[in-house]
Structure 1
Amino acid sequence: MVSVKFCEKELSMNHNTVVDWCNYMHEVCANSILRIQSRIGGPNMTVEIDESLFSRRKNHTGRQLPQQRIFGGICRETKECFLVAVPDRTSATLMSVIKDRIMPGTTIMSDQWSAYGALARDPNFRHFTVNHSLNFVDLTTGAHTQSIESLWGKCKTRNKLQWGTRRSLLDSYLCEFMWRQTVKARQVDPFEEILDEIAIFWPPSEDL
């Protein structure tokens, strides 16, 4: 799950074979995330939320491509995160993801996008905002979204290293990134973890 170009060079494999195997590993990571992921945050925990745009800006003809909006969150205390492709940034869409991915009792920090206004009326969450046009950190409450901004940077950098992501494969790429973040947060060996996940996804045949 490194760059396609690196694998082609170091393993002397052709492009299509490398892409196929990268996609196989994305499937393994996606299966792991779908199997084990639970809601993040909870009482006495803080989750930062934000949206960002992902896409290759141009195709091989130079034509501008449509962008995909991703909504994400990260827990400051555990470093657990979620990343979800969303069709828009309306209050209904974002609140649905928040309730599905964040535990009640969580303190949520965001920018001042109007769609987050519903959080102030939801008794299940405490909500603080920061006005990025004025400060990176709110001078009164200390609210900031630096953790989620850092997460976007890591995610997009890795995406570029892998030559960008085709729209049809974006969900599986995001699952791989979340899997890596989960493994890092748990402080376990990623190589041993991926071997375990491969065995779960493709269990050995009983005939062997």
Structure 2
Amino acid sequence: MTGHSSATIKSYMKLFREMVASTLEDDDNRIGGPNVIVEIDETKMGKRKYHRGHRVDGVWVIGGVERTEEKGCFVEVVADRTADTLLEVISRHVLEGSIIYTDMWRGYNGLEGLNPVTGVHTNTIEGLWNGLKLRIPARDRTKDEVTNHLHEFVWRKKKNNIWGGFINALKTTSYPDPE
């Protein structure tokens, strides 16, 4: 259809994902604020090994989404789901004064200063996970690949004008000098 091999297209898509990811680093990606509800959850991005059982090979991702009209969000690949990791990620991405909703997973127990509200639904973040998993092919759910897909997802959610945002990303990207 394009006259290019699928390997070439995949290489360009990876390059574009890396480019938009670099533009996110310049933005303030914190969400929430005083009395804004932020749903926090974790998921494993991967695939079932040999389609048996529930064991999933892949990477852990922690994310959050505001219950606002904008539905601001963050997603981050993490090594584990310990309370220390959760606290570090949440404090980096969620503004003070936010109301945290979780699914009551034990890793959230004892997160001092966050006061997570339990017994509430987390359907918004679950919907975010479903959308992400539909967009990212199972073969790309490795740590190296999934991070750029996650950045692309957040970038697309933040941009009202995706084409204009893409052109701006092209303008602000630095390219190495050819030798």
TM-score normalised to structure 1 length: 0.75
Quote how far apart the aligned CAs of 1:192 are: 1.2
Counterparts of 1:22-61 in structure 2 under 5 Å? Answer: 22-58=13-49
Matched, 1:150 2:127: yes
Relative contact order (alpha carbons < 8 A, sep ≥ 6): 1 or 2 greater? 2
> Partners in 1 of 2:82 and 2:141 — Cα distance?
25
Residues 31 and 129 (structure 1), Cα distance of their counterparts in 2 relative to 1, 3 Å cut = same
> Partners in 2 of 1:55 and 1:88 — Cα distance?
14
> Partners in 2 of 1:170 and 1:26 — Cα distance?
10
Quote how far apart the aligned CAs of 1:126 are: 4.0
> Partners in 2 of 1:44 and 1:17 — Cα distance?
47
Q: Tell me which residue corresponds to 1:15.
A: 6
TM-score normalised to structure 2 length: 0.87
**SS of alignment partner, residue 118 of structure 1:** coil
> Partners in 1 of 2:87 and 2:39 — Cα distance?
14
Q: List 4+ stretches of structure 1 deviating above 2 A.
A: 56-59, 162-167
Quote how far apart the aligned CAs of 1:167 are: 3.1
Quote how far apart the aligned CAs of 1:38 are: 2.7
Determine if contact 1:43/1:104 at 8 Å carries over to the other structure. yes
Matched, 1:80 2:72: yes
Aligned length: 171
**RMSD of Structure 2 on Structure 1 (CA):** 2.1
Q: Tell me which residue corresponds to 2:152.
A: 176
Amino-acid identity (%): 29
> Partners in 2 of 1:178 and 1:58 — Cα distance?
28
What stretches of structure 1 of length at least 5 have no aligned partner?
Answer: 1-9, 131-142
Q: Per-residue CA shift, 1:128-157, capped at 9, x if unaligned?
A: 113xxxxxxxxxxxx210100000000000
Q: 2:101 aligns with which of 80, 105, 109?
A: 109
Residues 65 and 114 (structure 1), Cα distance of their counterparts in 2 relative to 1, 3 Å cut = closer
Q: Per-residue CA shift, 1:31-78, capped at 9, x if unaligned?
A: 11111133110102110000001124459xxxx973211110011113
- For residue 157 of structure 1, what is the amino acid of its counterpart? L
Q: Tell me which residue corresponds to 2:118.
A: 129
**SS of alignment partner, residue 39 of structure 1:** coil
What stretches of structure 2 of length at least 5 have no aligned partner?
Answer: none
> Partners in 2 of 1:51 and 1:18 — Cα distance?
31
Q: Tell me which residue corresponds to 2:61.
A: 70
Residues 65 and 74 (structure 1), Cα distance of their counterparts in 2 relative to 1, 3 Å cut = closer
Determine if contact 2:77/2:143 at 8 Å carries over to the other structure. no
Quote how far apart the aligned CAs of 1:182 are: 1.2
**SS of alignment partner, residue 157 of structure 2:** helix
Q: Tell me which residue corresponds to 1:97.
A: 89
Determine if contact 2:39/2:101 at 8 Å carries over to the other structure. yes
Q: Which of these two proteins has the greater Rg computed from alpha carbons?
A: 1
**SS of alignment partner, residue 89 of structure 1:** coil
